[in-house]
Structure 1
Amino acid sequence: MKPITYKGYQAAVEYQDGTLFIRILHIDDLLLAECEDSRLVEATARALIDDYIQTCIDEGRDPERPFKGSLNIRMDPALHRRAAMAAADEDKSLNAWICEAIAEKVD
C-alpha cells in the first residue's frame, strides 16, 4: 500500500494477523495505531497525526517534523572550495551540484 501523506507526515500501513497497523515514518517519536477496516485507514492515520500534534502543543513542545528540505552541512574549507569550483565548471549552483552528488551516492 502506498504511504499516506498528511500535514507533511508520511504513514506506512502494514497488514499482520488480520489487523492493519499504521506507523508514522521519519520521526523519532513512535506513533502507531491499529485499524480493523481498510476503509478507515486514512482517517485513522490523520487522527493519529492530529493527536500527536495536539499532544505536543499540550506538552509545550514542538512536534517533530520529518524533513524540511534544507540541510546545513559543515565541511573542510578546502573541500568547500573544490566543490564550488567543480559546480561552477559544470555551470551549476553549489546546491544543485551537491544534490546531484548525494543522489548519485544513495542510488
Structure 2
Amino acid sequence: MMEYKGYLSHVEFDDEANIFHGEVINIRDVVTFQGKSVEELRPAFEESIEDYLAFCAERGEEPDRPFSGWFTVRLSPEQHRKVVLAAEKSGRDVGKWVAEVLARAAEVDVRERIYA
C-alpha cells in the first residue's frame, strides 16, 4: 500500500498482462494507475492523484477527500443493545469498543485475503 497526500492505494499484479494495476481505495471516486515495474508504480500513483486533483479543479468541483474516519451504521434495537452491553462489559465507551472490534475484523479479513 502506498500513501500520497492522504490518499491510499491498493496494487495487484496481472500475470497475463505482465503489469501492475493500482487503485486509490479511500475515496469514492475511481482513480487508477499502472506500471510495468515496481519502480514505475509510485510515480504513476502520484501522477494519477495530481491528475485527479487538477481535473476536479478544472471542473470547479471539490475532489473526494480521504475518508474522515466517521461513518454511520444502522443496527436493530437488539443489536444496538448487545453492542452497548459488550462495550460496558469491556470497560470502554461504545465508539472505542466498536472501533477496536472493527479493526480486529478488518485485520482478519486482510490476512485471509493475503494467505488465501
Structure 1, gaps ≥5 residues long: none
Q: TM-score under structure 2 normalisation?
A: 0.64
**Distance (Å, rounded) in 2 between the aligned partners of 1:42 and 1:103:** 27
Q: Which has the higher contact order (CA 8 A, sep 6+)?
A: 1
Instruction: Give 1:4's match in structure 2, choosing from 2, 5, 8.
Output: 2
CA RMSD of aligned residues (A): 2.8
- The residue aligned with 2:98 is 98
1:36 matched to 2:3: no
Larger radius of gyration: 1
| 1:94 shift after superposition | 1.9
Structure 2, gaps ≥5 residues long: 109-116
Using the aligned pairs only, state the percent identity.
26
| Superposition pairs of residues 1-107 of structure 1, within 5 angstroms | 3-16=1-14, 17-73=17-73, 83-84=83-84, 86-103=86-103, 107=108
| 1:75 shift after superposition | 5.1
Aligned residues: 105
CA distance 1:93–1:39, shift in 2 (3 Å): same
Q: Deviation string for 1:72-107 (max 9, x for gaps)?
A: 445567865664454334321221122234346554
Q: TM-score under structure 1 normalisation?
A: 0.68
